Amino acid sequence: MAQISAITGRRPPDPFAAHGAAGENRRAEPKSAARTPETEALDAEQGRAVVAKASADAATAFARLDALREDLAKAADARGALSADDLAALDSRLAQLRGELDRLAGEGAVGGANLLSRTAATVVTPSGDRISIAARPLDGESLGLAGLTIADTASLRAAAGRVALATAEVQTKSYALAAAAGVLTPERPDPGVEAFEKARAARAAAPAAGTAAAALDEALARRKAMASGRAGVGRHDAGAGTILDLFT
């Protein structure tokens, strides 16, 4: 059997790790054993459904993150101090986005598999190939957004950097899921070739008794027999007739 493995994405290095402002929001990494993903065995149809759901939700998460990233970058680069209301509004948007990411990750399950949580998948195709698809967690904690707040200029800049990193990470995950969806989607033949093959098969098949096509074939056969009788034994068979032969 062929074995196809999805590339596991790596988070970019955190440029704020050495600074105190980001250090206040830095989360403790749990033990590796706690992060070991479960693996769900799926057939091809289940695999396509799971990957399609995860891919669509990852695209939604990327769009939301990218919009907030842009607004935080503008606010961080703005000349002059932001008001307390401005900072509170940005902090509220950050919390709202974190909740939405957690919701997408929690509701990404199809059956028993959820690629946006910590469930990997192994899809067995009809040909017997086994395709391994890594989990792509999208919750706020996995993206480094847990506990992140905006209260002043320093925390705003730290949040802008963290959200930028999370946006790049989710974009990478979205690309990986889209690639997995492409691998699992069976290739369709060219529509023109497919239509031609159907038409050729229909022409080659004998028409069903009682249909208009059967009546036409019978009329052409009688017309051909009559023409052969007039021409004598020496006439060569011209092959299958058409409806125009009925009028000659």
Residue 248 has pLDDT above 70, yes or no: no
What's the mean pLDDT when you consider all of the chain?
76
For strands 119-124 and 130-133, give the pairing: antiparallel
* Residue 107: per-residue pLDDT: 86
The mean pLDDT value for 214-243 works out to: 62
**What are the sequence ranges of the domains in the chain?**
3-184, 191-247
Torsions phi, psi for 42 (to 5 deg):
-135, 150
Question: According to the model, what pLDDT value does residue 108 have?
Answer: 79
pLDDT band at 8 (very low <50, low <70, confident <90, very high): very low
Query: Residue 78's pLDDT is what?
Result: 82
In angstroms, the CA 159 to CA 86 distance is: 14
**CA gap 69, 203 in Å, rounded:** 60
Res 236: pLDDT: 47
Instruction: Note the pTM of the prediction, 2 decimals.
Output: 0.60
Structure confidence at residue 130 (pLDDT): 85
- The pLDDT confidence band at residue 5, using thresholds 50, 70 and 90, is very low
Give 139-147's long-range contacts (Cβ < 8 A, gap of 24+).
Answer: 139/101, 139/102, 139/105, 139/106, 140/98, 140/99, 140/101, 140/102, 141/27, 142/105, 143/101, 143/169, 143/170, 144/11, 144/14, 144/27, 145/94, 145/97, 145/98, 145/101, 146/27, 146/98, 147/25, 147/27
CA terminus-to-terminus distance, the chain: 62
- In the predicted model, is pLDDT for residue 231 greater than 70? no
Are the C-beta atoms of residues 4 and 131 closer than 8 Å to each other? yes
23-32, 57-66, 170-179: range with lowest mean pLDDT? 23-32
Of 7-16, 89-98, 121-130, 207-216, give the range with the top mean pLDDT: 89-98
pLDDT higher for 220 or 106?
106
- Percentage of the residues of the chain whose pLDDT score is greater than 70: 65
Predicted pLDDT of residue 126: 78
45 pLDDT band (50/70/90 cuts)?
A: confident
Q: Is the pLDDT of residue 16 over 60?
A: no
- What is the CATH class of 3-184? mainly alpha
Instruction: Output 231 or 28, whichever has higher pLDDT.
Output: 231
What are the pLDDT digits (tens) for 134-157?
A: 888 999 999 999 999 999 999 999
Cα-based distances in Å from 96 to 40, 78, 100, 232 = 31, 23, 6, 91
For residue 207, name the pLDDT band (cuts at 50, 70, 90).
Answer: low
